[in-house]
Amino acid sequence: MGAAMYALNVLALLFVALIGLAVLVAVVFYIVDTLQSGDAIRRNYPVIGRFRGLFTKMGEFFRQYFFAMDREEMPFNRAQRDWVYHATKGKDNTVAFGSTRNLNIPGTPIFANAVFPPIDDQFAMTEPMIIGPHAPEPYLAKSIFNISGMSYGAISKPAVQALSRGAYEAGIWLNTGEGGLAPYHETAACDLVFQIGTAKFGLRDEHGTISDDKLREVSKNPNIKMFELKLAQGAKPGKGGILPGEKVNEEVAQIRGLKVGQAGISPNRHPEIDDFDDLLDMIHHIREVSGKPVGFKTVIGSSDAWEELFRKIVERGPESAPDFIAIDGGEGGTGAAPMPLIDLVGMPIRESLPRIVDLRDRYGLKDRIRIIASAKLVNPADVAWAICLGADFVTSARGFMFSMGCIQALKCNRNTCPTGITTHDPRLQKGLVVEDKYLKVANYARAVIKEVETIAHSVGVSEPRQMRRRHVRIVQADGSSIPFNKIRPSYQPAPENTAL
């Protein structure tokens, strides 16, 4: 009995102590909130005003898991992410009962199935495609769907390792991103596209320009199949790359030529490229020195300006052309960028892609220049839509991030990514197990390709690139749909002085 009373007394004292501590903390917060001048809510409503900030931060969490419908979230909704997550398992990815997609929303693509499609054993198989026929070492690209640029530094060591092994397993290419070639890109002998950003990381000399000696040395790597000159990125056209200083550790600093903790800021454009003549000269030079196909990546603000490029290519001859053009939409993603650029600058891929395809085809360069589409194309319908409009290849970055477990926490710029993908914190990186994730990367790529081929089979063609604009209908404002070739016919002649 005495022991029980003693225990109760101790608990009572602890309770009183906790109450006292809580009161003391509240008094301290009250004084701090009253005296501070940075937050009007906390100054006018001491202590309880703090809950506003807490609820604001937690609101994103509650919306994602409890309130948002499957197709409501941005930038990627739950239905899109769930498809990727299911695809990574390498198992049946079918659904039951019926579609949850609202087919009356303007802009929705609807594929036109053939009246008499091929028999089931007549599969639509993707054919390899040559890129860079005038390069000493042309590239025979096997896959229509590949991994877009993600730099080591922006993403973690295990993430790059998983992408490298997954790309090799699936037979797709991996773009290095503008951060240069890291040893982890070569974890497996996958095909690599070396991206040359405006800071020339990995190739720069002491003046910040491309070193031909370094370019020749890198080009000896048999895994590097192409070079991509990055002019602009969808999430931040007109702004260079931004790698926060907290992500620049010793290894990243060595690869990029930075100091530890120094933010990696790329110029907003290549200083030595002032016009299309300079661009074609630079492409020719890199191709001549490296022997590999060379193209460029950009964002379209207006297609008017780009007609001059194709005119100059025709004047110079097809051997002067870029081997590919990668079109990134204004809705593209990144690890860090100013909000106005993310939200409001750059033409969306659904408008820019057909404009550039039409320009290329009108100038007779369809078989010379390959078009690569990027920006928010993560599901099979996205990829099939782009191919219907004329893309030869589609690349994705965020789709492959989802395949590695990304939960869209929106913390890519803070070095606190909870899934270990965009952080250099060893504790958080432990969550990304390469042996598991590389298989999911490969399974996702295979699933996208397989289902694009399924769509191609349904519309009645034997190879995805045989799909045309007539094979996809676009829902209009009144709920009806129109074949895309009625909205924007292929090879549409442009009246003089009229924008595309």
Rounded to whole angstroms, the Cα distance separating 99 from 97 reads: 7
- Is 266 a residue whose pLDDT tops 90? no
Query: In this predicted structure, what is the pLDDT of residue 234?
Result: 67
Q: Give the chain's length.
A: 500
User: Can you tell me the mean pLDDT for 397-426?
Assistant: 85
Query: In this predicted structure, what is the pLDDT of residue 80?
Result: 75
Query: In this predicted structure, what is the pLDDT of residue 336?
Result: 59
- Is 212 a residue whose pLDDT tops 70? yes
Query: In this predicted structure, what is the pLDDT of residue 257?
Result: 74
Residue 114: pLDDT band with limits 50, 70, 90: very high
Q: Is 385 left (phi over 0), alpha (psi -120 to 50) or beta?
A: alpha
Provide φ and ψ at 262, rounded to 5°: -85, 125
Query: In this predicted structure, what is the pLDDT of residue 483?
Result: 93
Rounded to whole angstroms, the Cα distance separating 426 from 412 reads: 16
Structure tokens at 416: 């606190």
Q: Which residue has the higher pLDDT, 389 or 20?
A: 389
- Is 384 a residue whose pLDDT tops 70? yes
User: Can you tell me the mean pLDDT for 148-165?
Assistant: 93
Residue 500: pLDDT band with limits 50, 70, 90: very low
User: Can you tell me the mean pLDDT for 111-138?
Assistant: 88
Q: Say what percent of the chain tops pLDDT 70.
A: 86
Distant-in-sequence contacts of 66-69, Cβ < 8 A, 24+ apart: none
Which of 22-36, 56-70, 203-217 is least confident? 56-70
Residue 431: pLDDT band with limits 50, 70, 90: confident
Rounded to whole angstroms, the Cα distance separating 240 from 221 reads: 27
Write the pLDDT tens digit of every residue in 283-316: 999 999 999 999 999 999 888 889 999 999 999 9
Q: Which residue has the higher pLDDT, 241 or 181?
A: 181
Q: Which of 480, 470, 405, 462 is nearest to 162 (CA)?
A: 405
Mean pLDDT of the chain: 86
Query: In this predicted structure, what is the pLDDT of residue 369?
Result: 98
Residue 154: pLDDT band with limits 50, 70, 90: confident
Residue 412: pLDDT band with limits 50, 70, 90: confident
Residue 451: pLDDT band with limits 50, 70, 90: very high
Write the pLDDT tens digit of every residue in 62-99: 556 555 555 556 566 667 778 788 888 887 777 666 67
Q: Global pTM?
A: 0.84
| Most confidently modeled range among 10-24, 130-144, 224-238 | 130-144
The amino acid occupying position 73 is: E
| Most confidently modeled range among 16-20, 70-74, 269-273 | 269-273
Interhelix angle 307-316/349-362, nearest 10 degrees: 30
Which of 37-46, 73-82, 473-482 is least confident? 73-82
User: Can you tell me the mean pLDDT for 432-436?
Assistant: 91
Query: In this predicted structure, what is the pLDDT of residue 282?
Result: 97
Which of 376-380, 407-411, 441-445 is least confident? 407-411
- Is 176 a residue whose pLDDT tops 90? yes
Query: In this predicted structure, what is the pLDDT of residue 491?
Result: 66
Question: 140 pairs with which residues across the strands?
Answer: 130
Structure tokens at 493: 């002649």
Are the CB atoms for 100 and 77 separated by under 8 Å?
no
- Is 341 a residue whose pLDDT tops 70? no
